Amino acid sequence: MVKQAVIKLNVVIIVLLLLFSISTTTVGAYNFSVSGQAAILMEQESGRVLYEKDAHKQLRIASITKIMTALLAIESGKMDEIVTVSSNAFGTEGSSLYLRLGEKIKLEDLVYGLMLRSGNDSAVAIAEHVGGSLDGFVYLMNEKAKEIGMAKTVFNNPHGLDDHEEHYSTAYDMALLTRYAMKNEQFRVISATKSYRAPQEGENWDRIWQNKNRLLTQLYKYSTGGKTGYTKRAKRTLVSTAAKEDVHLIAVTLNAPSDWQDHMNMFNWGFDSFEVFPVVEEGIIDNLKDNFYKNKVSANYTFEYPVTSEEKQFLSKKITLYNPPKGNEWQENGVPNPVGKITIDLNGTTIGEVPLSFVGEVTIEKKSFWSKLVDLVFLTLGVNKDG
C-alpha cells in the first residue's frame, strides 16, 4: 500500500511539473499558454511588461538578430548608397537572397531583403558596408545594445547563425530593441511590408520578396510587423508587433514550437485586459489649493499608462512644487523651470513623473510709500532690514 501511495504521489508530481512547464496566465476572459522556453509581452509606448516567462534567460536568438542589423543600417544614413557584394557575403550559408559575387545593389534593397526574406548574404553585405568589416559592425551592434540597455545580450555576427558560442540575448532585451526600433519610421515601414520588389543589376526582371512573417501576411489582422528566426540550435524564435486602437504591443518568444499561436494568445489577452489610460493630461492643473499657483501651473505633456480596469483604483498622483517666491526673487533670478512635478504611482510603485511649468504672470510686489522709505533709511545706514 505504501509503495502504491508513493507511486501515485510521484505521478501527481510529474503531472504538476508538466503543467507548470507551460506558463499560464488568467485575466478576465482569457486563459492562455505559451510554448516558448522564454517569452514576453510589452506595451510599446510605456515599456511596461504585461506578461513574461523566463524573460531574462540568455538563449540563442537566430535571425531576430537581424532587427539590430536593419536598425544600424537605417541609422547609418547610407540607405541610398550602392553596395558591392563581396565574396564573403556571396558565400554565406543558410537562407539567402542569392546575391551574385560583385553585384551592385542599393543598401535599402538589402535591408528589405534582410527583414522580409531573412537573407544571411544580405546581412553580411550590410555589415561590411556599414561597419567597414564584419568585426567593425559587430562592435557597433554591441555598442548599440549597451545604449539601449540590453544588459544580457552579446552579438558576434549580423545574422544569428550558430557560428559563435557567444551570440545570445533574452526575450526582455529583444523587446527593448524592438521598442527602440519601432520609434524609427523607416524601420516601421520596412517591418510592416508584406511584399517588396528590388531591381537586379544586369537583368530585365526584378527580385520580389514576400515577408516570412505569417502573422503579418495571413494570421493576425492587428499585426504591424516583426522578424522570424530559426536555427537548429536556437529553434524557432519570433519577434512581432501589433496594434489595436491606441494599444501597441511587442511580443517575443525564444525556442517556441507554436510561436504563431503564442503571439496571438498574448496579443489577444493584452488587448482584452489592458487599456492605455491618460493618467495626467497636458495643460493647466486644476484644483491647486495654493493661491499663488492656482491656474498658473501646466503639465508639460500627457502621461499614459497601460492598466487593467481593476488597477485604475490603485493609481495615485502627488504634486510637488517649489515654495512660492519671497518678494521679487523670481523677477530677479528667473522663474524655475520646471517649477515642480507630478509623481504617478501604481500600487505604491512609481511608474512615471511629469514636469510642471509655471505659465502665469509673476506680479511685481508693489510697496507702499512707507515701505520704500524704510528701505531707503536702512540702505543709507548700511543695515540689512532682515537682521
Rounded Cα–Cα distance for residues 55 and 70 (Å): 23
The phi, psi pair for 253, rounded to 5°, reads -130, 140
Active-site residue identified among 63, 95, 122, 240 = 63
Is there a catalytic annotation at residue 63?
yes
Is there a catalytic annotation at residue 294?
no
What cell numbers appear for 186 in the block? 523607416
CB 267 within 8 A of CB 249: yes
CB atoms within 10 A of CB 207: 18
Active-site residue identified among 53, 66, 144, 212 = 66
Is there a catalytic annotation at residue 66?
yes
Active-site residue identified among 35, 46, 95, 118 = 118
Task: To the nearest 10°, report the CA torsion of 299, 316, 53, 188.
Answer: -20
CB atoms within 10 A of CB 147: 9
Q: DSSP state, 193?
A: -
* Residue 271, H or E segment: helix 259-273
The phi, psi pair for 159, rounded to 5°, reads -125, -20
Q: Where are the beta strands (DSSP E) in 247-324?
A: 247-254, 275-280, 283-284, 297-299, 303-307, 315-321
Q: Buried (b) or exposed (e) across 254-293, using 16+ Cβ within 10 A?
A: bbbeebbebbbbbbbbbbebbbbeebbeeeebeebeeeeb
CB 36 within 8 A of CB 255: yes
* Residue 35, H or E segment: none
Closest CA to 302 of 333, 278, 269, 270: 278
Query: Given the DSSP bridges, would you call strands 349-358 and 297-299 parallel, antiparallel or unpaired?
Result: antiparallel
Residues belonging to the active site = 63, 66, 118
